[in-house]
Amino acid sequence: MGNDTELVTPGEKLGRASEFKAGRGAYVSPDNLTVYASLTGLRHIVSPPPDSPDQRPIVEVTGHKAHGAIPEPGSIVIARVTKVMARMASADIMCLGTKSVRENFTGIIRLQDIRATEIDKVDMHKSFHPGDIVRAIVLSLGDARAYFLSTAKNELGVISAQSAAGVPMVAISWTEMQCPITGQIEHRKVAKVGG
Amino acid sequence: MEIDRLDGRTPNQLRPLACTHNVLNRAHGSASWCQGDTKVLAAVYGPKAGTKKNENPEKACIEVIWKPKTGQSGKTEREYEMILKRTLQSICILTLNPNTTTSVIIQVVNDDGALLPCAINAACAALVDAGIPLKHLAVAICCCLAESGYVILDPSKLEEQKMKAFVYLVFPNSVLSNLPEGQLTVQGEPMEHGIITSVTQGAMPVDDYLHCLERGRAATAKMSAFLRKSLQPKLPID
Amino acid sequence: MGLPDSSGGLLSELDVDAFRRLFPLRFYESHLAKSTRPDGRPLDKARDTSSALGAVASADGSALVKIGSTTMLAAIKMEVMTPSQESPDEGCIAIEFHMPPICSPIVRPGRPAEAAPVVSKQLSDTILSSGMINLKELSLISGKAAWMVYLDIYCLDADGALFDAALLSAVAAFSHLQIPVVSMNDEGKVVVMSEENEGGKEPVNKEKRKLTLCSIPFSLTCILYKNYILADPTAEEESIMETLVTVVLDSSGQLVSLYKPGGSVLAYTSAIQDCVALTRQRVRELQTILDEATAGMEVD
Amino acid sequence: MAGATPTTYSPSPTTRKTKSLIFRNDDVDWVRTDGRDFHQCRPAFFKIGAVNAAAGSAYAEFGNTKVIVSVFGPRESKKAMLYSDIGRLNCNVSYTTFATPVRGQGSDHKEFSSMLHKALEGAIILETFPKTTVDVFALVLESGGSDLPVVISCASLALADAGIMMYDLVASVSVSCLGKNLVIDPVLEEESYQDGSLMLTCMPSRYEVTQLTITGEWSTPKLNEGMQICLDACAKLATIMRECLKGPDSALEE
């Protein structure tokens, strides 16, 4: 279905609620009669998934720069560890998915969320160091201060770290990284690459 | 043509230098530094952990607080704080104590010219006294330019006001090394010729500035010898 | 296979902007090695610069200046003061640089930017010590009344080289300044002459509507990083490579300021000379831009 | 230069011209200083994307009233804030020192800041950015009258430019009551002589009012008249605002 040339702005009517379902960038008025745009962009109509019980076409607004992404439960993030304490590490969320965020969000990784197995044997200081770049998943919106992050999956954990000599280290196992210059081995919760 | 200096000094002559360290009991490190009647007291606290504000996971943080002799801090003090902070950052090995803050407090005791250079020298001595890891020391000097392009060093307040321009310069101290000479040059110049900080006031021809650089470098060699001597552990008979 | 890959493989999955965010120095070094910058500029090239005079109707002189996306709005308001006893024939200039919260994500209301007072001070020092303005021209009645020139510069969009843009806007505002014609009223106050309150009074400053600007200062800020010199840095460049050198030259080629507040890179004589040479070139560009802006005003 | 700044005064005449000189209370035929009809707004100019450093921004110019609004976020809320399931809106309005005829202090305008907050809050879908804050900062470059309504309309454009989800744009217009007459979109001079004022902020396409501020003494018929004038003007203003969003500056991806 075409009809994606019409430019709309917030508050413009997209159609009647009896004919359309509100998709991205659209909402239904409180009286359930009208679908309005909530963003600036192109009015776009897509067919509902064939297995959906509701067979109304979906009207959405696309093409505009939406606001910068914010972390939500389930998002994969890339964060820089800022501080490592006995029971948790704090980290600045710098990328959401593969996109960078404009301004940092604070996240914390609690001791119990580092590994999926042998949780009681995990040592915070053998998992992360300040400055490490980690890939993590957002567990929840957390508390007032930080999002709760987890690295308890094979593909999550440290993806880049510097050795004491100041050079990027190479992962040699699930728990170790090695400095290519000094040969020194440091402990980390290392992320597995690829699939 | 020569310019007679009020206190009878030769153009290249510095005022008497005096440096005492460990002058304050409660600070982790402290020093007082005098150049003639200009006197500055510097205190260092830190490195302290957990003062969240400017913390950086990769680098130690340095904060500078400038206390004028009298009155409130204004724009001049803010500017001096910024210059001092960035100068000290460049000589400290910041990667050794990440997530910490080191505070440097400067108290002006008396200002009789060359105040900022004097404060930089004091801060540097106080950092050594506190045992903060440093790459090298910094030595600061003020050069004054007369109308004719004539340069005098380490001016008093009166001389500063009379001259058409002045230049504050900070250089690394000369390095004592066992390595062959060639190892310590950068772009054909010895390391201690590189400028850490330069602040100028008043218009001057570019060549006069370059001339100030030469004279400043020559003078800081003497000062760095003094600084080194004054920082050596005192013998008990002192 | 079970073993993790080297970090290189993992990082190649990232978007360019994510890589730039996570490893800014590595990102910049890959550009610098090709003698270029992420915005496509050669290392020694300043961003597009423009200047428009008379942007603020309620001011006596004003200018809007853009260097890349860094934007400055400068406006002058003239007030009257009693000159000090030491200099009864001189007026005064008060310069204030503001960074309102609209200009940058790092400025918040009630938490002013650290840079603002420092730039204010730097601007005052530069403008007053350059001798661009003869304070005697600001005198109205010797010992009785003189002009107090309030120059306020607002940063509307902060993207690096703030001092350079602020100085250019200040100079442009001074060249646009039109001094109001004033006379002394019966109460001994200086008031603006207008059709209504003229009342046969003689203006006290009939001939002095414009200031004579001699030796105008222009500046260029450069980054020193390793052996590279990057002219007119963006905010991102300033935050990653932190050694900055600002050179101010006046229109006659004199050095008004050479400002290098610390930084991990030492400046050797050759680098200083290179920065001065780049500034010389930039002074000519800026002079032309300013001349064009003033010429544009005269046509109107 | 001495440390302390000497006391100064502005040479511009500050004494107000007598009111009767311009607006004769009973004379219906006086002309507005800029020649507009009583119910005619100043030409409105909008531009989005004025500030690159911000997530979204807009510039508005109504005669001599010139404002810039920047939007930042959604970003992390201040550390001291309590946890919240929905987003927060934080507003600030300040003036430049040269905005007013006599040089001012350029300080924050607390009252306008909170009024801007109230005017916008109802139009933003706060549920779409839980826990985080959207900052809306306005700077009045020049004050030429009707400053707050211009700030509000401009802020809603900046929010739209930033891609913040909204139920509708927000348009705002004020009227001044001068004797028997209602004048819309008053300039500074008219505001200084007004007997009463009415400012209305609404979501035009939904015909919902988000804020109504009244000062002075109003009879019910006058009030109804004033509100109707404002609602009509808001609808027209919204059309101009939508054109701006759809114009060449709009941030549509290719």
Average pLDDT over residues A62-71: 80
Whether the per-residue pLDDT at A15 is higher than 60: the answer is yes
Which among C239, B152, B96, C212 is positioned nearest to A166, based on CA atoms?
A: B96
- Domain D35-246 -> CATH class: alpha beta
Contact partners, residue A24, CB within 8 Å, separation at least 6: A60, A61, A62
User: Does residue C105 sit at the A interface (CB-CB below 8 Å)?
Assistant: yes
Average pLDDT over residues D20-25: 54
Which among A56-70, B144-158, D154-168 has the top mean pLDDT? D154-168
User: Does residue B191 sit at the C interface (CB-CB below 8 Å)?
Assistant: yes
Whether the per-residue pLDDT at A34 is higher than 70: the answer is yes
Report the percent of chain A where pLDDT is more than 70. 96
**Closest chain A residue to C22 measured between Cα atoms?**
A94
User: Does residue C204 sit at the D interface (CB-CB below 8 Å)?
Assistant: no
Distances (CA, A) of D36 to C193, D31, D43, D142: 28, 8, 10, 20
User: Does residue C12 sit at the A interface (CB-CB below 8 Å)?
Assistant: no
pTM of the model: 0.93
Distance from CA of C141 to the nearest CA of D (A): 14
Which among B153-167, C38-52, D92-106 has the top mean pLDDT? C38-52
Predicted complex ipTM: 0.92
B15, B154 Cβ separation under 8 angstroms:
yes
pLDDT confidence of residue D129? 93
User: Does residue C17 sit at the A interface (CB-CB below 8 Å)?
Assistant: yes
Average pLDDT over residues C119-143: 94
Q: Which amino acid is at B87?
A: T
Helices (H) and strands (E) in chain C, counts: 7, 12
Architecture per CATH, A76-187? Beta Barrel (2.40)
Distance from CA of C185 to the nearest CA of B (A): 37
pLDDT confidence of residue D93? 97
- Contacting residues of A for B97, CB less than 8 Å apart: none
Confidence of residue B33 (pLDDT cuts 50, 70, 90): very high
Measured distance between the N- and C-terminal CA atoms of chain D, rounded to whole angstroms:
56
Whether the per-residue pLDDT at C7 is higher than 50: the answer is no
Locus of tokens 């728990």: A175
B112, B142 Cβ separation under 8 angstroms:
no
Where are the domain boundaries for CATH 2.40.50.100 in chain A?
7-62
Which stretch of B181-195, C122-136, D145-159, D172-186 has the lowest confidence by average pLDDT? B181-195
CA torsion sign for D163, D169, D170, D174 is positive
Minimum-distance CB partner of D245 among A25, A40, A65:
A40
Distances (CA, A) of B14 to B68, B110, B139: 24, 17, 13
User: Which chains does chain B touch, 3 or more C-beta pairs < 8 A?
Assistant: A, C
Q: What is the pLDDT of residues C137-191, one digit of tens each?
A: 999 999 999 999 999 999 999 999 999 999 999 999 999 999 998 888 877 788 8
Q: What is the pLDDT of residues D178-237, one digit of tens each?
A: 888 899 999 998 998 899 999 999 999 988 999 999 999 899 999 999 999 999 999 999
Contact partners, residue B166, CB within 8 Å, separation at least 6: B142, B143, B144, B145, B155, B160, B200, B201, B202
Whether the per-residue pLDDT at D20 is higher than 80: the answer is no
Count CA atoms closer than 13 A to B124's CA, side-chain side: 28
User: Does residue D246 sit at the A interface (CB-CB below 8 Å)?
Assistant: yes
CATH number at residue C249: 3.30.230.70
Quote the CA–CA distance of C222 and B222 in Å, as a whole number. 31
User: Does residue B197 sit at the C interface (CB-CB below 8 Å)?
Assistant: yes
Q: What is the pLDDT of residues A113-137, one digit of tens each?
A: 999 888 888 999 999 999 999 999 9
Residue C33 covered by a domain: no
Residue C228 covered by a domain: yes
Minimum-distance CB partner of D166 among A10, A13, A141:
A10
Contact partners, residue B72, CB within 8 Å, separation at least 6: none
B152, B3 Cβ separation under 8 angstroms:
yes
Domain that holds residue C283: 40-299
State yes or no: cis peptide before B47, omega within 30 of 0. Answer: yes
Tell me the pairing of strands C92-98 and D88-95: unpaired
Which of the pair, A106 or D32, is modelled with greater confidence? A106
Quote the CA–CA distance of D218 and C5 in Å, as a whole number. 76
User: Which chains does chain C touch, 3 or more C-beta pairs < 8 A?
Assistant: A, B, D
Cβ <8 Å between A130 and B95: no
- Domain B17-231 -> CATH class: alpha beta
Residue C4 covered by a domain: no
Distance from CA of D221 to the nearest CA of C (A): 38
Quote the CA–CA distance of B41 and B111 in Å, as a whole number. 12
Check residue C254 and give left, alpha or beta (phi > 0: left; psi -120 to 50: alpha): beta
**Closest chain D residue to C124 measured between Cα atoms?**
D1
Distances (CA, A) of D141 to A90, D69, D104, D136: 41, 10, 12, 16
Cβ <8 Å between C10 and A103: no
- Domain-by-domain residue ranges, chain D? 35-246
Cβ <8 Å between A171 and C6: yes
Cβ <8 Å between D13 and C81: no
pLDDT confidence of residue C200? 58
Where are the domain boundaries for CATH 2.40.50.140 in chain A?
76-187
- Contacting residues of A for D248, CB less than 8 Å apart: none
Cβ <8 Å between A80 and C17: no
From the options 3.20.20.80, 3.40.50.460, 3.40.50.80, 2.40.50.100, give the CATH code of A7-62.
Answer: 2.40.50.100
Looking at the 3D structure of chain C, how many domains does it have? 1
